[in-house]
Structures are given as structure tokens and as C-alpha cells.
């Protein structure tokens, strides 16, 4: 696999099927893990769900509540999160601006 | 491994030994890959080096030139990069502000 250098604005956002007003951009599909960029429009949410792979997240913009298991966290720019495999989690954009984050997942079939 | 939620400002920056005015914050040490945040002060650079693991990078702030193999790229906020294993690469902050990026590496002994 060769090097990749690109600009996020040039990566087409795809609508996330399980939610409304949530978009994903696939930035890098690497040999071991993938880097994606999510955008939640104001008021957008993703309901509790789980899967057998972890997330590593870095928040770029906006304010949101993130549920992980029984816990709730208020996050904004500069927060990082590790969501373990098989733990139910959810997101809700609580702010007036887009909630945007980088989310890395292992290279597994989803 | 339990969930982790934190704020980057609260993670102590460590000086990178192979360079001057370059700092690393270890945000998440996950089971499969690690998320780090790098800060290059204005003028700071890291000389060409290589290692048997890849990088997946997202640029948060600033402007820099990044060398990958024989190629040179000018990057700024919103750029993403994939640097393959064993390819020499280097960074130089060309701007007046800190050059900051997220860099994910696989869980290998470095």
C-alpha cells in the first residue's frame, strides 16, 4: 500500500444509514486500522449500538453527550475517547454547530 | 480494558528525544493501535527516519512540509496522511504557529 495524502473537504461524506443527519467520510483504509471523520448536524444523534471492535476517537469541533455503557460524558474539541469492544454506546449533538470527530476502528469487516 | 474519556490539555506533553521543540502526548494506548498528539513548535522539524509500522495522521493546526519517500507534501488543518511501514519520512513546521496532528500507530513495541 502506497502513501496517501489528502484533504478532508475532498472526501465525499456518506449519510450514515442508522441515523439522521449524521455523515461519515472514510479518510484512510489502512492495513491494520481505518480512520474516519464523522459529522453530526445540530440535534443529530446515534442510538445505542455495539459491535465487537473498539473505537478511538478525537473530537475536532462542537459539543455532544456520549454514552458508553452506563456512563454519560460531555465532550467537546480536544477530548479523546476509547470505547471498548461490545460496549453499547451512543452520541447526541447538544450544540448549535456540527459535532465532528475522528474515529479509528480496527480493520475488520463491519 | 475499560472506556477512557479525557481532555488533551490534561495529558502531559513529553519532549521527543530525536528532535528539538517537538512534543508528544499519548492519548490512548489501545489493544490494537495507539492514538498520539504531536506538537511541532514554529521551525521545529523531525529528520528522515523509518520503522516497520505505518502512521495514520490527521492534521489539527498549522502548516508543514512532510516528506514521504521521495515525495514532499504541504499540509495544513484537515489533511490526512497514510505513511506506509519502512518508508523514510520527515516533518518540518513551515508556519508561525504550532503544527499539531493526531498520529495513530499499531500496537507494536517501538
Please give the pLDDT value at position A10: 98
Nearest CA in chain B to A71: B3
User: Per the structure, how many domains does chain B have?
Assistant: 1
Please give the pLDDT value at position B16: 97
Please give the pLDDT value at position A108: 84
A27 interfacial to chain B (CB closer than 8 Å): yes
Residue A95 inside a domain? The answer is: yes
Ranges of residues in chain B whose predicted pLDDT is under 70: 109-110
Nearest CA in chain A to B34: A56
Buried-exposed string B51-73: b where 16+ CB fall within 10 A, e elsewhere: eebbbbbbbbebbbebbbeeeee
pTM above 0.90, yes or no: yes
Q: Say yes or no for a CB contact (<8 Å) between A8 and B73.
A: no
Would you give the DSSP letter of residue B12?
A: P
Residue B20 inside a domain? The answer is: yes
Residue B76 inside a domain? The answer is: no
Please give the pLDDT value at position B108: 84
CATH number at residue A17: 2.60.120.10
**What is the nearest CA distance from A18 to chain B, expressed in angstroms?**
23
Nearest CA in chain A to B74: A5
Residue B44 inside a domain? The answer is: no
3-class secondary-structure state, position B19: coil
B46 interfacial to chain A (CB closer than 8 Å): no
**What is the nearest CA distance from B80 to chain A, expressed in angstroms?**
5
B17 interfacial to chain A (CB closer than 8 Å): no
Tens place of pLDDT for every residue, chain A, 110 residues?
999 999 999 999 999 998 999 999 999 999 999 999 999 999 999 999 999 999 999 999 999 999 999 999 999 999 999 999 999 999 999 999 999 999 999 998 64
Residue B95 inside a domain? The answer is: no
CA dihedral A38, A73, A44, A87 (to 10 degrees): 70
Angle (CA) B10-B13-B18 rounded to 5° is 165
Tell which residue, A17, A103, A7, A110, has the closest CA to residue A55: A103
**What is the nearest CA distance from B82 to chain A, expressed in angstroms?**
5
Residue B62 inside a domain? The answer is: no
Residue B53 inside a domain? The answer is: no
Nearest CA in chain B to A7: B79
Residue B2: list chain A partners with CB under 8 A: 84
Provide the residue range defining the domain that includes B19: 12-36
A52 interfacial to chain B (CB closer than 8 Å): no
Residue B17 inside a domain? The answer is: yes
Amino acid at each position: 500500500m502506497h502513501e496517501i495524502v489528502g484533504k478532508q473537504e475532498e472526501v465525499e461524506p456518506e449519510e450514515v444509514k442508522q441515523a439522521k443527519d449524521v455523515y461519515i467520510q472514510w479518510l484512510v483504509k489502512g492495513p491494520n486500522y481505518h480512520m474516519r471523520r464523522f459529522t453530526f448536524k445540530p440535534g443529530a444523534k446515534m442510538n445505542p449500538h455495539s459491535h465487537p471492535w473498539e473505537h478511538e476517537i478525537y473530537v475536532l469541533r462542537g459539543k455532544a453527550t456520549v454514552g458508553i455503557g452506563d456512563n454519560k460524558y460531555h465532550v467537546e474539541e480536544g477530548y479523546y475517547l476509547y470505547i471498548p469492544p461490545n460496549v453499547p454506546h451512543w452520541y447526541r449533538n447538544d450544540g448549535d454547530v456540527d459535532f465532528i470527530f475522528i474515529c479509528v476502528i480496527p480493520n475488520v469487516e463491519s
